[in-house]
Amino acid sequence: MSVARRSQSVPDGAGGGLAPLRRLLDLNRPLVMGILNVTPDSFSDGGDFSQPAQAIAHAERMIAEGADIIDIGAESTRPYPGMTPVSQNDELSRLAPVLPAVVRLGVPVSIDTIKAGVARWALDHGAAILNDVWGLQRDPDMALLAAERGVPIVIMHNRNEADPAIDIVADIRGFFARSLDIAAQAGIAPEAIVLDPGIGFGKTPEQSIQAIARLREFEAFGLPILVGASRKRFINTVVATEPKQRLPGSLAAHLIAVENGAAIVRAHDVAETVQALRVAAAIREAT
């Protein structure tokens, strides 16, 4: 499936500081971030789009289906045993034939990486948003890079391992406070920051559910919230299903997340997510 392309020289979604994300948030509707994993081992679709032609075609399809942002990752950050870290060179070799081509499709591209070196390369090749699943608390150069380039950054909560004894929402709030202090010290503008509670990362399934149920508690930070519940393991604890069978649970989680204040949802199944959000909005507007 092809999609009409915008200017090939300077795509609207490429670069532009905070402008691409601010324009989208100003639409005052939930945004859909489409997931593009160019990895062999992601928990849900590892290997499906590891070939460049497949990955680019999938990005085109997601844009045609209504994706507002394409989030590209080249290292699995899945919160499961068996995740194998990759070198920066390997990560870049996976991104090189894909990311610039996706940038040329004209929607903002975010780079899902924990390495500042990979993030810098991606920004140099047109990525518009940084997505750090360790919330500026792993690579000290990530915050400096975001400040230097003046681009939006997604700060996600994470833990090395789940602890069922803790209040996960309090833990997320504390993590965000630390990350925001790092951001401020680096000179990142508050309006550049999106917060992500990290559904499924360093959490028990019950804690992931709690994070969505209590999402309003993060509004005190005054920042947009992103929720990525797509195909996550907590769905399997409610109804036993394999990752690619979790579309109904993913839609339910994202609809409730939006009701609870999420501005962005990160999804594998873009067409279905867009339809669900639009129908829900139509029903709300009719009341």
**Is 266 marked active-site?**
yes
Q: Which of 159, 232, 233, 246 is catalytic?
A: 232
Determine how many CB atoms are found less than 10 A away from the CB of residue 118: 25
Residue 239's CB: how many other CB atoms inside 10 A?
10
Choose, from 78, 233, 246, 266, the residue flagged as catalytic. 266
Residue with tokens 């919330």: 135
Half-sphere exposure of 212 (CA within 13 A, CB side): 27
120 flagged as catalytic: no
Give the residue from 240, 231, 223 showing the smallest Cα distance to 267. Answer: 231
Q: Alpha helices of 26-151 — where are they, by DSSP H?
A: 52-64, 88-95, 99-103, 116-124, 140-149
Distance CA 208, CA 199 (A): 5
> What are phi and psi for residue 265, nearest 5 degrees?
-120, 145
Which residues does 15 contact at the CB level (< 8 Å), separation at least 6?
Answer: 123, 126, 128, 151
Compute, in degrees rounded to 10, the torsion defined by CA atoms 118, 71, 266, 5: 170
DSSP 225: B
Asked if 96 and 74 count as a contact pair (C-beta separation under 8 A), the reply is no
> What is the C-alpha separation between 194 and 222, in angstroms, rounded?
10
Active site residues: 232, 266
